[in-house]
Every structure is written in structure tokens, then in C-alpha cells.
Amino acid sequence: MKKILIACGSGVATSTVANQKISAYLDEHGFAGKYKIEQCQVSEVVEKSGNVDFCVSTTLVSGDVKCPVLAGLPLLTGVGLDKLYASILEEMQK
């Protein structure tokens, strides 16, 4: 079971959109039931990063992060979305 952290400024609106898109993509690619997603504020990423496999953040993350962080802005803009999804699949297959 992969643990994914999705972060945005408030931990509510933007991360919910990202959660829906990532969940739909993963389910379509055979990962249904093989992951758990937690949403949070970007200020919580450092604290929570030691308990997840990777993080997708729609804003910049700073500090001592203990997991890979993928830039989630393409989930909102559409620019670079294929590259982000490829990176997510790569993390899921580790």
C-alpha cells in the first residue's frame, strides 16, 4: 500500500482537486486499492513526510522533507501533466 501526501496552501480546495485527478488516474492504471492519499497544508509536509512514500504539492515545499516531492501544478494548469503522471507511476512502481 503506497502512502501519498497531497499538499496545497490550505490543505482543502486545491489538494482536493489534485486528489480526485490522481485517484482517477491511478485507478485507471491498475492501482485501485493499492494506495492511500492524505491531504495536508504545505506547512505540514516536513512533519508528515517521514510517514509517506511520496508527496505531490501544488506549491513550493521547503525544509527537511524525507520523501520525494513532485510538483503538482500541472494538475491545475494542464501544462506538463503527462510528465507528472509518468513521475507518479514511477513512484508507485518502486
Question: Catalytic pick from 8, 40, 55, 67?
Answer: 8
Q: What is the pLDDT of residues 37-85, one digit of tens each?
A: 999 999 999 999 999 999 999 999 999 999 999 999 999 999 999 999 9
| 16, amino acid identity | T
Measure the CA–CA gap between 56 and 93, rounded to whole angstroms: 16
- The pTM for the full model equals 0.95
DSSP state of 80: T
Q: Phi and psi dihedrals of 91, rounded to 5?
A: -65, -35
Question: 2-64+72-92 is classed in which CATH architecture?
Answer: 3-Layer(aba) Sandwich (3.40)
- Decide if 55 is catalytic: no
Measure the CA–CA gap between 4 and 15, rounded to whole angstroms: 12
First to last CA, the chain: 11
Question: Domain segments of the chain: what residues?
Answer: 2-64+72-92
